Homo-oligomer: A and B are copies of this chain.
């Protein structure tokens, strides 16, 4: 069995949705040795998240930002957790809607994802700073 784990720190991204699959895969070259397995990518934060979506047209990513801002608004009258700024509570909700980890199949040393699938870092804070990810590769 192969089990490899690595913590990586991303550069600070602006609020929005960003493709990070190259940063992720380049940090765990051992995945080339895995014939059958999975890579779990976990974000150690509660106001940023990870998802898989279209890797080609950047307007998909800006439309994500527009959509989530409308349906998880800032300054909702029912928020009580407001002292960290108007972008904080929506960030927590967005993070749980999108999720704190993704699991990707690995096949013959390659991520076995669709042609159009990329990994999005979903940065929900205005100034989220560096974000830490844990990569866990398991397989044979």
Contacts and interface: CB of A to CB of B under 8 A. Distances in A.
A135 B79 CA distance: 33
A125 B51 CA distance: 19
A40 B103 contact: yes
Report copies per complex. 3
Interface in A76-92: 76, 78-81, 89, 92
A76 to B, nearest CB: 7
Interface string A109-140: 00011101100100000000000101010111
Interface string A93-117: 1011111111111010000111011
Given A5-B112, A60-B81, A101-B104, 6 more contacts: A36-B136, A37-B136, A46-B53, A63-B80, A66-B76, A66-B78
